[in-house]
Every structure is written in structure tokens, then in C-alpha cells.
Amino acid sequence: MHDIDSRPWYRQISPQQWKTFLTTFTAWTLDSFDFTILTFVLLDIQQSFSVNRALAGLLGTVTLLFRVVGGIGAGTLADRFGRKGPILFSIAWYTVFALLSGLSTTYVMLFAFRGLFGIGMGGMWAAGMPLALEHWPDKLRGIASGILQGGYSAGFLLSSLVYQLGYPLISNRPEWAWRLMLWAGVIPGTIIFFLMRRIPESPVWLARKAALEARGETMGVSLTRLFRRDLLWVTVHTSLLMGGFVSMYQSTTFWYPTLLTQLQQKPLAFLLLLNAGGLVGSAALGALSEHWGGRRGAATLGVVLGLAACPVYLFASTTWGMLLGAWLIGFLASGAWGIVPGYLSERFPTEVRGVGTGLAYHVGVGIGSYAPYLIGALQDGGTDLRTAMLLCILSAGTAVLVLLWVGPETRGRSLE
């Protein structure tokens, strides 16, 4: 008989496992911060470069599209050479291009730098999630997945605080204010780079490397493996599912600070609730996925209830109603993301886990990248911002629900 560990789950994790997990979580949080801080200064950028809403939204779209390049590239390298090297490269890359974005003198230059920034953002997720999850016990992967994915909400929450507290100090110089906001993550990014250097390599990847060397074999390029018959459906299905998830999230959040500004509301309280809800909801639904309903059931619960909360989120007539809507959407719709790192890791075998999760997640990001632009274009065509957001959220959420149940349940699969 096997002894059952009766300690609380967080005591079953060794100090080294916690160190790896928290460093990866922080790097992903900062990645999110550097992306979402842009959403607060879109109006300033429009004024600085005299561009319309669609072109402002396209800055988000190009970042998301280039995440595909970073996700596939870093994922392939992570399977071939280990998880750590691509993570370090990605952190350095997105920090440099966050700095260069603030130095832009034209819209075209900013557009190019935000696209290149997306390469590092995509690489961080593709190599970082396998590293963190491969250090943790299989039985605790659901909660680990939820907390990890909640790092994105933590980054958005942090950018909300930085904007609310820092922007008023520099708002009298709007031409420089948005630049300083984009630079806010540069010093933290440098610190995280040096902390990540001290993190050990994935034990699962090292075990596979040792097994291959014992047989006289070497690591091969993993990308083409994804398109062989046994994995082709996994690759296609997970990419489409991630496309639905990303479309729903971007439709919910990218233009939300602008909506709050139009409604003459101070964004901080709403964004704190939205992202605190996402952080808590990701952990809660990730933990739930280890028990009730598995990965599919937990995510379905979050998405269905999140779609039902959309009218409150977008059309509430009172401040208290809008605050409630922000919490509900964060906890439910954003919280449904809590299953994603674990689910993707469980769909792909170790030899292609980096590139498989990286490609699926970031092809999904590419599919979903149309949302910021589409909502901006709908506005330019005369559609109210709230209506444009609602249409995109509902259509994307419906796609997520269908795709979840087309695919298999993965709870309990081993990563070894």
C-alpha cells in the first residue's frame, strides 16, 4: 500500500520546487504587465501619432501575432536544448523591446517594436510552463496550472496599479507619459533574468535526455513530430481551442480600460476586481479540475457562468453593478483559463511538450489576435463599444465550449 500524504498541498512541495514555480510565475506576471500596460495609454498613443481606433487596436493584434513566432521557436529549442535557455532569452528579449517601444518616434516604429516584443512574450510561456509543471507532482498539477495561469491576471492587476498611481504624476506630459508607462517593467525584467539563471533544469527533460544518451541517441528537432498522424489532431484541436480562449479574453479585456474612461469611471477599482477575480478564479477552477468535472467540466463551468455575467459586466447602469460584473467576469471567464497550462501539457508527450504547448497556445493567440482590431473596426463603423465587445465575447465563448467537448478529458495523465 502507498502512504497517503496528509499534509496540506502547499507543504508537499519542496523549497526548490517552490523557487522554480514562483520565479516562473513572476516572469509570466511581468510578461503580462509589459503587454497590458499598453491598454491604458491607447488614447495617448492615438493623439501622439494621429491614428484611429483600429490602428490603436492593431498594436495589440501585432503583438499577439508575433507571439506565435516566439512560442514555436522557443518551444522547439526547449525540447532540443532544455527549458531554461529559451526562458532566459525570452525574458531578455521582451525587456529590451519594452524599452525600445517607449523610444518610438513614429507609429510604424512602435508597431514594429510591439510586434518584436511579442516574440519574447510567446517564448516565455512556451518554455516556462513546462519547466514549472515538470517540477511539480502530477497530483497537484491542477492547482499549479491555475496559479501559473493566474500570473497573467496578476500582471494586469499590477499594470492597473502602476497606471493609477504613476500616471497622474506624469499626465501633464502626455507625449512622455505613455513612454514611461511602457518602460515601467524594464528594471524588474532585468532582475527576473538573473533570478531565473539560478533555477534548475526540468527533471523530466533531463531524464529523457539521459535515457536517449543511454541508447546512443540524440535529441532531435521536435516541430515536425507535431504533424505526424498520431499527433496531428492534437495539434489542430488544441490550437483551435486556444484560439477561442484568446479571442474571449482579448474581447473582454483589451478595450475595457477605454470603455471605463468613456463611461467616466476611474479604472483602478474595476481592474483590481477583474484581475483579482482572474487570479483567484484561475486557482480555484484549476484546483476544481482535479476533482469535479475534470479539466473540461471546470472550464465549462467558468465559461458558461462568465457568458451569463456579460450583461452585468458591460451594461450595468450603476457603479456597484459594474464592479460586480468585473469580479464575476474575472473569476469565471478569466478563471476558466486555470486549466490551460495543465491541459496543454497533458495533451503532448515529453519530447514535444515545449513546442506542442507553445505552438498550440500561440497559434491560438494568432487566431485570437483579430479581436482588438475587430472591436476597434466595429467602433469605426458606428457600433457602440459595449455592443462590439459583447458580440465578440459571446461568439468566442461559444467556440470554447464546443471545442472543449470535442476533445478528450486529460485529468490524471502523467507527464513522464
Total count of domains within the chain:
1
Whether 9 maps to a domain, the answer reads: no
- In the prediction, which pLDDT does 179 show? 93
Whether 315 maps to a domain, the answer reads: yes
In three-state secondary structure terms, 11 is helix
How far is residue 192 CA from its own chain's centroid?
18
- In the prediction, which pLDDT does 3 show? 53
- In the prediction, which pLDDT does 195 show? 92
Whether 12 maps to a domain, the answer reads: no
Instruction: Tell me which residue range forms the domain holding 46.
Output: 17-204+212-406
174-183 vs 141-170: helix axis angle to the nearest 10? Answer: 150
> pTM to 2 decimals?
0.80
HEC string of 202-257 equals CHHHHHHHHHHHHCCCCCCCCHHHHHCHHHHHHHHHHHHHHHHHHHHHHHHHCCHH
Cell numbers of 63, please?
503583438
Whether 1 maps to a domain, the answer reads: no
Whether 330 maps to a domain, the answer reads: yes
Whether 191 maps to a domain, the answer reads: yes
Whether 61 maps to a domain, the answer reads: yes
How far is residue 291 CA from its own chain's centroid?
24
Tell me the backbone φ, ψ of residue 172, rounded to 5 degrees.
-75, -10
Residues of the chain with pLDDT under 50: 1-2
Distance CA 376, CA 228 (A): 39
Whether 270 maps to a domain, the answer reads: yes
- In the prediction, which pLDDT does 5 show? 62
CATH of the domain at 394: 1.20.1250.20
- In the prediction, which pLDDT does 221 show? 63
- In the prediction, which pLDDT does 79 show? 83
- In the prediction, which pLDDT does 416 show? 63
Question: Using an 8 Å Cβ cutoff, are 33 and 155 in contact?
Answer: yes
